[in-house]
């Protein structure tokens, strides 16, 4: 599985001639690695790792991208690479850089959208906010038609047959979000973790700090040959690549608990960033204070 080279497709889009890079990271598994960046009017929120898995009878898309145009690029790329039909779009969680390419796949006959049992509710709760800010933030006019909820939901686990290739989907308790889903391919021992793993990009807490650490403890006991994070480079050194995220979240929890015990208020905690190793993380200044606020809200009243 160390043999694979990137493929480059130049595809004409409504915006311009765009290069869409796809790398085969394991047999039949392809990933477009997004840049580590904030969503803006230049990248149009096309910043997540997205891709697809090819079976004998059909293809499963894993996250569709941050805007409908990126979804169309992904769909066109798949159709250029294989005649195997696209049967599934699997969304790993609700964040907009992972779901707003869904509408590009809606015209495929019998297409099924799959997500965590709480994903549809999260899309309904957040969709209006994502749409309202879309033109100003990412220069894309999103509409309600771009919110495509799952028509197959996962409460605990689900197996999806792509034809001589079974994908094992698992839904998690609240961690990065309250609707995290992973995709495991036993054929290549590849785990698509999405935003349960950040590599290089500072982890972003939008669920439960304690829950995320519990999931990390569960995951690091397992062995994978390839791990696909939601942001950052593809990992072949598991579970070592998980340790930076684990350490950051553990330190976040211990620091906030210590400040709470000292009687500090949130405004005091937000001023103290010196105990965290900032150098290893991109976008630290953009997300760390948000993480502190989320951690404080969760831990302030714990027993």
* pLDDT tens-place string over residues 132-179: 999 999 999 999 999 999 999 999 999 999 999 999 999 999 999 999
H-assigned helices in 102-203 = 119-138
Compute the mean pLDDT over every residue in the chain, rounded to the nearest whole number: 92
Percent above pLDDT 70 for the chain: 92
- Give the C-alpha separation, 107 to 168, whole Å: 26
pLDDT for position 19:
59
- Give the C-alpha separation, 210 to 288, whole Å: 17
Domains located in the chain, CATH noted: 6-240 (3.60.15.10)
pLDDT for position 153:
98
DSSP character for 128? Answer: H
Per-residue pLDDT tens listing for the chain (303 residues): 333 444 444 333 334 324 589 999 999 999 999 999 999 999 999 999 999 999 999 999 999 999 999 999 999 999 999 999 999 999 999 999 999 999 999 999 999 999 999 999 999 999 999 999 999 999 999 999 999 999 999 999 999 999 999 999 999 999 999 999 999 999 999 999 999 999 999 999 999 999 999 999 999 999 999 999 999 999 899 999 999 999 999 999 999 999 999 999 899 889 876 667 788 999 999 999 999 999 999 999 887
pLDDT for position 6:
44
Phi, psi of 10 (to 5 degrees): -100, 115
């Amino acid at each position: 599985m160390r043999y694979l080279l990137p493929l480059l497709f130049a595809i004409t889009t409504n915006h311009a001639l765009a290069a869409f890079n796809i790398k085969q990271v394991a047999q039949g598994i392809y990933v477009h690695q997004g840049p580590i960046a904030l969503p803006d009017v230049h990248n149009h929120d096309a910043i997540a790792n997205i891709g697809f898995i090819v079976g004998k009878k059909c293809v499963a898309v894993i996250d569709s991208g941050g805007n409908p145009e990126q979804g169309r690029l992904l769909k066109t790329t798949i159709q250029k690479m294989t005649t195997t039909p696209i049967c599934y779009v699997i969304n790993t969680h609700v964040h907009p850089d992972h779901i707003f390419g869904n509408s590009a796949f809606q015209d495929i006959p019998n297409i099924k959208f799959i997500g965590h049992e709480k994903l549809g509710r999260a899309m309904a709760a957040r969709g209006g906010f994502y749409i309202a800010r879309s033109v100003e933030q990412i220069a894309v006019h999103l509409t309600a038609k771009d919110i495509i909820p799952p028509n197959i939901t996962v409460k605990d686990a689900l197996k999806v047959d792509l034809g001589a290739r079974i994908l094992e989907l698992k839904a998690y308790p609240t961690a990065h979000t309250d609707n995290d889903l992973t995709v495991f391919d036993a054929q290549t021992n590849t785990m698509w973790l999405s935003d349960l793993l950040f590599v290089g990009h500072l982890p972003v807490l939008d669920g439960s700090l304690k829950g995320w650490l519990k999931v990390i403890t569960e995951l690091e006991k397992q062995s994978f040959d390839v791990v696909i994070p939601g942001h950052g480079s593809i990992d072949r050194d598991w579970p070592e690549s998980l340790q930076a995220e684990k350490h950051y979240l553990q330190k976040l929890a211990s620091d906030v608990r210590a400040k709470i015990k000292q009687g500090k208020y949130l405004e005091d905690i937000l001023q103290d960033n010196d105990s965290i190793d900032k150098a290893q993380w991109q976008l630290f200044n953009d997300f760390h204070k948000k993480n502190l606020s989320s951690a404080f809200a969760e831990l302030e009243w714990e027993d």
